[in-house]
Structure 1
Amino acid sequence: MHPQPPMDKLRRIIVLLLLATCARAAAGAAWTHDAYIWQRKPAAQVDDALRASSGQVNGYCVLASEISWDKASPKIVRPRFDYAGLAALGKPIGLALRIGTRNSEKQFADALPQIVAEASALLESVRNAGLAPSELQIDFDCPESKLGLYRGWLAALKTAAGETPLTFTALPCWLQHEREFVDLARTADGFVLQVHSLHKPRAIDDTFTLCEPGAALHWCRGADGLAARAGTRFRVALPTYGYTLGFDDKGRFIGLAAETPRDWPPGAQLRTVRSDPRAMQALAQTLAAEKLPRATGIIWFRLPAENDRLAWTGKTFSAVIEGGEIISHLAVEIHRAKPGLAEIVIINRGHTTEPLPQRVKITWSGDASLESRDGLGGYSFYYDRDDPRALVGMRSLASTEIAPGHSRVIGWVRFDSPDKKPITNISINATIP
């Protein structure tokens, strides 16, 4: 065995020290919570959501451009964003480029110059608007058999991105193609593992979920090993959204709707599936506690805004990130509109969207007698068989929900005193049995 020259030993020591420093830095890196902004139209509610979440969210990734295809011709849509305003947040702001389906080798080859041209133009436009993007994230649901062709796209896009880091979204099914995936991941500066999706249901009584925590954790562990081989890092995308699912009169699936309502055929049966905030909070906490060496955080799809119908509310989103208890709490209250008249109000004081109660009960005491009553929003009120001074309200609508922080008037009652004097001494109580 020949002795090593002094300079070779010195080089080895320097390399080992650098590796140790990098390992310590990776171990001490902060776990981050980012969020997608996927709303395609500017809205005051999105601006409000950005302001409300800025203390908890580390960075954002906006849907900056979307390419669909009319045969071989691209159709490009760029949602309008105030990029100077986003830059003023002082947070990392990434750009997502969503690309529609391509399948054949010829389609991949023909699409490449068009995609690179749009990426270059997008980056130039955003930089000129005063924002230095933290990443260019490519969102493309590549067929498993075409990962090698996709790698060619990413190599060209990385050159086009220049100083902007290039990342891509990855599907769990890609991980089983280890060699191809490692080559793909090596081409970029990082990836986002998307562990949420909705499989096409077979029937209305199926169990629906947008993200199964056990499977997601398994995929993340596998992705961590592949990321180590590729020498890169990744984040995990978790859902905040929901869908309305439609079924025909025989219970067969006919379609779904997200935030944009759709017209359903007569006789359609609807079910709602939402991301479970308790399950997602527990999964995010488990991933953080696992300290997977190559995982750096969560990116939530998507930042909830007040005008979203099926996503979490901002209150729910905040509770999930903060790690506090996720509370479900519906209350029913009596609001005195004026002497003798009272409204029956359901209030959601919790963190989760909940179905309105099927049944409520109203009782009263005092000298007044019930003169009239009426139900609203699908409720009807009847005298309780066992108590002449009680009403039972029953909900007839199948799927009516109430979001956290919201209230709903479901009926009213009017009382009269025997001598027609103003009523001041009546006590009215409402409960959810």
Structure 2
Amino acid sequence: MFALLPLRRLLICCLSLLALAGCDRPSAIALDQQVYIWQRQWRAAHAQALVASHADFSTLRVLVAQAHPNEGWIQARIDNDLLRQDGRPLIAVIRLDGQLPRLDSSAIDQHIQTTVRNWQASGLNLRGVEIDHDCANNRLSAYAQLLHTVRAELPAGLTLSITALPAWLSSKALPTVLQEVDSSVLQVHAVSRPEAGLFDAQLALRWANAYGAVSSKPFHLALPAYGVALTENGDVESEAPLPQGGSRRELHAKPEDVAKLLRDMQAAPVPHLTGLIWFRLPLAGDRRAWPLVTLQAVLHQQPLRSNLQVTVQQQGELFELRLVNSGNLSAALPTLIRNDAAHCESGDGVQGYRLQRAANTLEFVRQSPGQLAAGQSRALGWLRCSQLDHGGFRVSP
């Protein structure tokens, strides 16, 4: 016969059991990470980007062709050898411009079938097809019919997915559209007027939860890792420069905002959300895409920080100075950089910095604002000194 436990010990046992029961609750879902490759013309930088990102993304979603109302079909020039060597699963993306007056189901299906045959014949690891179409709400029923036709013609083993817009949440036709595909990708960036900004984390979370309540199938969330610029006449400039001159208004998705969205979704998982797709794979020279080190920090939920330092290259009494950001987050160019001037006789600032002497201090003063991306550097200036403390530079915001 068991002795009765004192009340205090009994309460402690009960609390311990409750704590253990809490530990048994399912943890937040680990989200699959994929990435878009969105260039029409592939170049040497793709090889480096694929190698550097191989451990980060499970699947590559590759722009294959675009149908435009005036230009017709535009085929992307893809390096099949690179994709074959990379070996990761591939989703071929067909972009149908939202301004097309009508969707020619026969031409679209033929283009998809040709792409599938060519990719499979090339030995590429093709797993599915995605259709990217900013369909108007009043045309979603017709779009569902097109998807039904396309899916019926796809070879066995290939999936069909689509991109979806938050605006579709107000349409009764959305469940019918989703019924015709295996999965979908909810786009939560660049879905409002450009003047309203590129990305809003609170809206994105609200849309994702609302979409998860409608979709009975798995879906991914398309997240931004880039910026754009608005020209004076309202055109959007991204990785490719537009021919018109004039000023530009830069819009960027802030890594801190996207990182917060990931934390919120980790704390309270979105129904039916199985993965994230990042737009777009950063290439060397793509000045509006996040550097890969920033994208990696966000998707792996690492702390974000910039780290500005001055590096010195010496040749005799000549010292060449560079400003380096060794962190994983871009930073505003510092307003002032100082060092001891006791043993320096001359020098100059470059790339927006002016050198001035104040008492026994040399000061590089910023003349215009700017940013230094993570992992990047830029020339700061030069000094001619008989002696210089390389680590004596003090960087002020």
Q: TM-score range by the shorter chain?
A: 0.7 to 0.9
Amino acid in structure 1 at the alignment position of 2:60: Y
Task: Give 3-state SS (helix, strand or coil) of 2:61's partner.
Answer: strand
Is the CA contact (8 Å cut-off) linking 2:306 and 2:327 kept in structure 1? yes
Shift of 1:277: 1.3
1:379 aligns with 2:353: yes
Q: 2:237 matched to which residue of 1?
A: 257
5+ residue gaps in structure 1?
1-25, 203-207, 248-252, 416-422
1:254/1:223 Cα in 2 relative to 1: closer, same or farther (>3 Å)? closer
CA deviation profile, 1:40-63 (whole Å, cap 9, x unmatched): 212221121111111121111000
1:298 aligns with 2:276: yes
Q: What are the within-5 Å matches in structure 2 for residues 12-411 of structure 1? A: 30-70=30-70, 75-83=72-80, 85-102=82-99, 107-108=102-103, 111-163=104-156, 164-177=158-171, 179-197=172-190, 199-200=192-193, 209-228=197-216, 232-247=217-232, 254-265=234-245, 268-333=246-311, 335-365=312-342, 368=343, 370-384=344-358, 388-398=359-369, 400-411=370-381
What is the distance in 1 between the residues matched to 2:63 and 2:110?
Answer: 17
Amino acid in structure 2 at the alignment position of 1:168: I
Moved more, 293-302 or 181-190: 293-302
Q: CA RMSD in A?
A: 2.3
1:122/1:27 Cα in 2 relative to 1: closer, same or farther (>3 Å)? farther
What is the distance in 2 between the residues matched to 1:426 and 1:401?
Answer: 27
Is the CA contact (8 Å cut-off) linking 1:224 and 1:294 kept in structure 2? yes
What is the distance in 2 between the residues matched to 1:336 and 1:47?
Answer: 31
Amino acid in structure 2 at the alignment position of 1:210: L
- After superposing on structure 2, the runs of 4+ consecutive aligned residues of structure 1 that deviate more than 4 Å are 26-30
TM-score (structure 2 length as normaliser): 0.86
What is the distance in 1 between the residues matched to 2:332 and 2:130?
Answer: 37
What is the distance in 2 between the residues matched to 1:328 and 1:158?
Answer: 47
Task: Give 3-state SS (helix, strand or coil) of 1:101's partner.
Answer: coil
Count of residue correspondences: 369
Which is higher, the Rg of structure 1 or of structure 2?
Answer: 1
Shift of 1:150: 0.7
Shift of 1:284: 2.4
1:84/1:289 Cα in 2 relative to 1: closer, same or farther (>3 Å)? farther
What is the distance in 2 between the residues matched to 1:103 and 1:263?
Answer: 24
What is the distance in 2 between the residues matched to 1:89 and 1:226?
Answer: 36
1:342/1:30 Cα in 2 relative to 1: closer, same or farther (>3 Å)? closer
Is the CA contact (8 Å cut-off) linking 1:288 and 1:297 kept in structure 2? no
Shift of 1:221: 0.8
Shift of 1:166: 0.7
What is the distance in 1 between the residues matched to 2:322 and 2:27?
Answer: 51
What is the distance in 1 between the residues matched to 2:213 and 2:162?
Answer: 17
Shift of 1:391: 2.1
TM-score (structure 1 length as normaliser): 0.79
Is the CA contact (8 Å cut-off) linking 1:87 and 1:93 kept in structure 2? no
Amino acid in structure 2 at the alignment position of 1:349: S
Percent identity (aligned): 27
1:41/1:336 Cα in 2 relative to 1: closer, same or farther (>3 Å)? closer
Task: Give 3-state SS (helix, strand or coil) of 2:393's partner.
Answer: strand
1:391/1:256 Cα in 2 relative to 1: closer, same or farther (>3 Å)? farther
Is the CA contact (8 Å cut-off) linking 1:241 and 1:302 kept in structure 2? yes
Amino acid in structure 2 at the alignment position of 1:381: L
What is the distance in 2 between the residues matched to 1:143 and 1:283?
Answer: 27
CA deviation profile, 1:254-295 (whole Å, cap 9, x unmatched): 433111223554xx4433222211221221233244333411
